[in-house]
Amino acid sequence: MDEAEVKEERRRLAELFDVAPGRILHALCTLAVPDLVPPEGIGMDRLASAAEADPGRLARLVLAAETLGVLRVDASGTVRLTDGGRLLRSDHPDTLRPEFAEIDMFLGWGAFAECVAHGGTSYERARGGALFERISRDPASLNAFHAYMRTRAVQLYAPLVPYLSKRGFRSVVDVAGGTGGLTELLLAADDALRVTLLDRPEVVDLVPHATRARFGERLVLHPGDMLRSDLPPGHDACMLGSVLHDWADDEAVAVLRRCHRALDDGGRIVLLERVLSERGPDQGRLADIWMMAITGGQERTLARWNALAAAAGLVIDDVHDADGEVSALVLVPDGAS
């Protein structure tokens, strides 16, 4: 490389290494700054007062956010949101606020190099316990995490709903379905469908009352732990939305076997997961590193999904990609496809 190329490559790598942009967006969302900016804009002092933040420090944060293109400050000091900044508001249909405000996800990276070298997760080393066990003991963290996951579910799975609806399922168990983001999409798309939402008791308790009232008897809440107990039987599909990527192969196979036992004859297991390319650059590999650091799980290629299915006595019958982040992988008992 010549001197100009070396300089450009140094700049590119320095940008990749810089943690400040992520922390700026995190602070904006945690302080609810985008929610406090009205369409006509707001003065810096009024914004600091509304956010209950130090005026000088908030001004520095706002100017840094302007550099990232999410806020705009005019000559009079009036702060306005850009199109990107509106995505950080809690009332935007495609909001990123729950994801960016989730503090535990940011605090779990401190020991990542040790995690790569010696195993375990960076999160456990930094926080003193596994993610799901820790947040279950902290109501505020549990609420924040599942608010993020509910919003994330709608964004991830909506492109797959037309395909899922055409499968003709009549009774589905949404395994580790959180507070019902996927469940609500499925029920809204098919008036004849019945969904049993299974998750740990403290999570099921957070399912919004409006969701329960909207779907009535078609929604069944089933407190349970997919890792420790059998799943409720009598369903023609078990659906797992971004569940198995949280777990290493042994736990994932155990969950698939429990799903297998719960199915009626002719039933299907549907995984909504990333499918990584077998080789070459893939943005999904960054998500794979998140899984390594935070949960100990992994994103998988189709070959790895096939191997996982085979270990549970299953085969992949169909893969549907709706040009989103995740695909639908339909699994059936070996010999039934």
Active site residues per annotation = 245
Strand order of the sheet with strand 42-43? Answer: 42-43, 78-81, 71-73
Three-state helix/strand/coil letters over the chain: CCHHHHHHHHHHHHHHHCCHHHHHHHHHHHCCHHHHCCCCCEEHHHHHHHHCCCHHHHHHHHHHHHHHCCEEECCCCEEEECHHHHCCCCCCCCCCHHHHHCHHHHHCCCCHHHHHHHCCCHHHHHHCCCHHHHHHCCHHHHHHHHHHHHHHHHHHHHHHHHHHHHCCCCEEEEECCCCCHHHHHHHHHCCCCEEEEEECHHHHCCCCHHHHHHHHHHEEEEECCCCCCCCCCCEEEEEEECCHHHCCHHHHHHHHHHHHHHEEEEEEEEEEECEECCCCCCCHHHHHHHHHHHCCCCCEEHHHHHHHHHHCCEEEEEEEECCCCCEEEEEEECCCC
Dist CA 165 CA 188 (whole Å): 10
> What residue has token string 């699994």?
331
